[in-house]
Amino acid sequence: MSGQLHLHPAAAAGEVGYVPGSAAGEARRLLSPVRLGTLCLRNRVVMAPLTRQRSLQPGNRPHALNALYYQQRASAGMIIAEGAHISPEGQGFAWTPGIHDRAQAEGWRLVTEAVHARGGTLVLQLWHVGRISHRRLQPAAAAPLAPSAVRPDARCFVPGARDGVGEMVACDTPRGLDQSEIILLVEQFASAARLARDAGFDGVEIQAGNGFLLDQFLCARANQRRDGYGGSTPARLRIVIEVLDAVIAAIGDAGRVGIHLSPLGSMNDTAHHDPQHLFTSLVAAIDARRPAYLHLSGAHAEAVALIRQLRHDYSGAVIRAGGYDAVSAERDLAAGDIDAAVFGKPFISNPDLVERIETGAAWAIADDSSFYGGGADGYTTYPTLAETTAQTRERSADHVARP
């Protein structure tokens, strides 16, 4: 993660790298509609939640630039908008947008209106980082919150001395939540869900993966509690189910609530020692609540067996992220392993990813130096195929016109 304000010369000059697309017509299933709970998607190409750290400061509010970025990608079957922290304490990365006050909800309204104007569907990822934070991001410079006071071997991103510049730093030692704070936390998830609904989102996704707060409760090394929220497997997964129940009640429709898990991911120092038992128990409890979908990610090759089993055990829709291209997504859809494919980096550099899949056009490769922080460059500046073609025509006309 670089902390500079980023220029994106390659994209601006139309010189980004490309990977070949699939042959047009090969992505039949990927382009077909699907229902996830109450959500009706016009295709199975889902945009992954992607933290881009470009909210308006101060206040961590989404603004017109974010609305344009999401509108450019509105042809996705569904957009899972980037993780939004549900409380000031839930933030672990500078400039990420929040969803805990009215001004932020008004900012998100710009985003939902822009995407709906193009006929898109979008949900918001509800995020609490837990111990993946630092005193410099916390109210009153307090210690970050966590299941237990166990410092992670992980880094977070704090603002630097100059505007728009930040730095990666080791996470601080957190403070373990007491029981009354756990009740408050569950209510904060519910309150954020209500704000998201009021802002016009079609639903929400609970972030229970990637080593953030809810995943920390699941992880025996991070969660050393013995008070009903730690110790046994049912105790470790209790808070995830309490949050799911509270968010479903807040939204008023389980079919508009998704949940993200990363069963074999090791991100942010949260490798699980008993993934098989833990995640089969958790998925059974989630299944009983009938949410819109289960979003799985962070699965490497050895994880395939567990992921397949979770898919088999779960009666609802399953969507998955991690290195998909049109061919592998179509293959997993055909095998019945997923109901929709989630694409991350390809959506950063291909706002018209769906159209590229339709036509079999090549995909632009994203420039990772502009992933996190900055302005429009490397964010809203990636051209669509039509814009690239027009630019190329203009350049060659210019060339011909010159003596």
Ligand X SMILES: Cc1cc2nc3c(=O)[nH]c(=O)nc-3n(C[C@H](O)[C@H](O)[C@H](O)COP(=O)(O)O)c2cc1C
Q: Which is nearer to ligand X, 225 or 349 (CB)?
A: 349
- For residue 42 the two structure tokens come to 């016009």
> Is the omega angle on the peptide bond into residue 58 within 30 degrees of 0, that is, cis?
yes
| Residue bearing tokens 């105790």 | 235
DSSP per-residue string spanning 118-169:
TT--EEEEEE--TTS--GGGSGGGPPPEESSS---S-EEEEE-SSTT-EEEE
Q: How far apart are CA 194 and CA 152, in angstroms?
A: 31
User: Any idea what the Cα angle at residue 73 is, between residues 378 and 66, rounded to 5°?
Assistant: 60
Smallest separation (angstroms) from ligand X to the CB of 1: 9
Which DSSP symbol is given to 382?
P
Integer CA distances (angstroms), 99 to 85, 127, 360, in order: 6, 9, 37
Provide the CA 41 distance to its chain's centre, in angstroms: 18
Integer CA distances (angstroms), 173 to 162, 211, 213, 249, 382, in order: 25, 15, 14, 34, 39
User: Any idea what the Cα angle at residue 238 is, between residues 234 and 240, rounded to 5°?
Assistant: 130
Q: Which is nearer to ligand X, 293 or 324 (CB)?
A: 324
Smallest separation (angstroms) from ligand X to the CB of 125: 6
Q: Which is nearer to ligand X, 300 or 393 (CB)?
A: 300
Q: How far apart are CA 151 and CA 178, in angstroms?
A: 17
The terminus-to-terminus CA distance of the chain in angstroms comes to 45
Q: Which is nearer to ligand X, 69 or 343 (CB)?
A: 343
Q: Which is nearer to ligand X, 143 or 317 (CB)?
A: 317
Q: Which is nearer to ligand X, 54 or 260 (CB)?
A: 260
Smallest separation (angstroms) from ligand X to the CB of 54: 11
Q: Which is nearer to ligand X, 91 or 230 (CB)?
A: 91
- For residue 270 the two structure tokens come to 């949260």
Q: Which is nearer to ligand X, 91 or 207 (CB)?
A: 207
Q: How far apart are CA 16 and CA 382, in angstroms?
A: 9
Smallest separation (angstroms) from ligand X to the CB of 96: 8
Smallest separation (angstroms) from ligand X to the CB of 224: 25
Indicate the SS3 state at residue 64.
Answer: helix
Q: How far apart are CA 66 and CA 381, in angstroms?
A: 12
Smallest separation (angstroms) from ligand X to the CB of 98: 13
Q: Which is nearer to ligand X, 143 or 293 (CB)?
A: 293
Q: How far apart are CA 10 and CA 17, in angstroms?
A: 9
Smallest separation (angstroms) from ligand X to the CB of 368: 7
DSSP per-residue string spanning 321-342:
ESS--HHHHHHHHHTTS-SEEE
Nearest to 91 by CA among 63, 51, 123: 51
Which residues of this chain interact with ligand X, rule CB under 6 A?
48-51, 82-83, 125, 207, 210, 260, 297, 321-324, 343-346, 371
For ligand X, which residue has the nearest CB?
Answer: 344
